[in-house]
Amino acid sequence: MLENLDLELVSGEDGIHRPITTSDLSRPGLELAGFFDYYPKERVQLLGMTELTFFQKLRSDEKLERMERLCDDRTPAIVISRELEVPEELIEASERHAVPVMKSKLTTTRLSSKLTNYLEKMLAPTTAVHGVLVDIYGVGVLITGQSGVGKSEAALDLVKRGHRLVADDCVEIRQEDNDTLVGSAPELIEHLLEIRGLGIINIMTLFGASAIRSTKRITLNVHLELWNSKKQYDRLGIEEDKLKIIDTEITKITLPVRPGRNIAVIIEVAAMNFRLKRLGINTAKEFTDKLANVISERDTDFI
């Protein structure tokens, strides 16, 4: 947090290891006034000009007592905005209880917003999925399937067609909102793609920076499986399966793989068709409606 938000550590360095477990912040105005009955001690405490101006009006004994109680054993950190002067009472209490006290140049409102966004991102639920993530025309497509089915080969073909690789083999996914999944690659294999028989290749080195991106929201899953002649596959595109990752469901399309099928082109078209559906254009539904009208007209003529 110190590095990413450009904060300056003032005191309490011994407590820098304290974990932050919630993205909620607290502005302890009531606590400085002496009301600690509902003190949210597990939150990062944010002190701005309002709180510190009020604090300066307290008696000396009150200042010591309030800062002593503010620096609880469970308090992860105290952050002061606007580069305001840190009260001596806070420095002494933070050193005794090992509570990190930090300063920022930002105004209280901007600091609160940046802190909340950063903590929500870092504390979001995460998981890892075996697959490939590609950005196709702005649609984050998660390609899954059993090992050796051709996921990486399809991704390579898509990159050659101008799309962007996010992750290969292992996709780290975090749920930033109730319906938002964001995928990225582990640092060790970022920008790398493994092709059996060829080995590991660096997509950015081969195709340039425009062929990769670091993160992408996942909205579509294309699952590859070997063609099963006994299985009935969707031929109209009316049925819509879902894949649940953490607490979010995304659209799932199952594509059978066999010689002669250009999987990369089919995935590309699947992404384009998915965009059309989000714009309200559903070709399969339009076709079935038209077919139903034709059948209805013929039945009427027959009667």
Q: Is 194 annotated as a binding residue?
A: yes
List the one residue out of 129, 267, 264 whose CA is nearest residue 185: 129
Residues forming beta bridges with residue 183, ordered by sequence position: 173, 216
Q: Is 177 a catalytic residue?
A: no
Active-site residue, 169 included: yes
Q: Are 179 and 250 in contact (CB under 8 A)?
A: no
- Among 184, 165, 58, 67, CA closest to 121: 184
Token pair, residue 108, equals 């209280």
Separation of CA 299 from chain center = 53
CB contact set of 74 (below 8 Å; sequence gap of 6+): 41, 42
Angle at the Cα of 191 from the Cα atoms of 140 and 256, rounded to 5 degrees: 50
Q: Which of 27, 169, 252, 275 is catalytic?
A: 169
Contact 191, 185 (CB under 8 A): yes
Tokens of 295: 């059948």
Catalytic residue among 130, 261, 285, 298: 130
151 is an annotated ligand-binding site residue? yes
Is 280 annotated in a binding site? The answer is no
Q: How many helices (H) and strands (E) does the chain have?
A: 9, 17
Closest to 119 (Cα-Cα) out of 46, 48, 219 = 46
Any binding-site annotation on 150? Answer: yes
- Nearest-angstrom CA–CA distance, 2 and 126: 22
Q: CA-CA distance, 141 to 218, in Å (whole number)?
A: 6
Q: What spatial distance separates the first Cα and last Cα of the chain, rounded to whole Å?
A: 76
Question: Is there a binding annotation on residue 147?
Answer: yes
187 marked as part of a ligand binding site: no
Is 235 among the catalytic positions?
yes
Annotated binding site: 145-152, 194
Active site residues: 130, 151, 169, 235
Annotated binding site for ATP: 145-152
Annotated binding site for Mg(2+): 152, 194
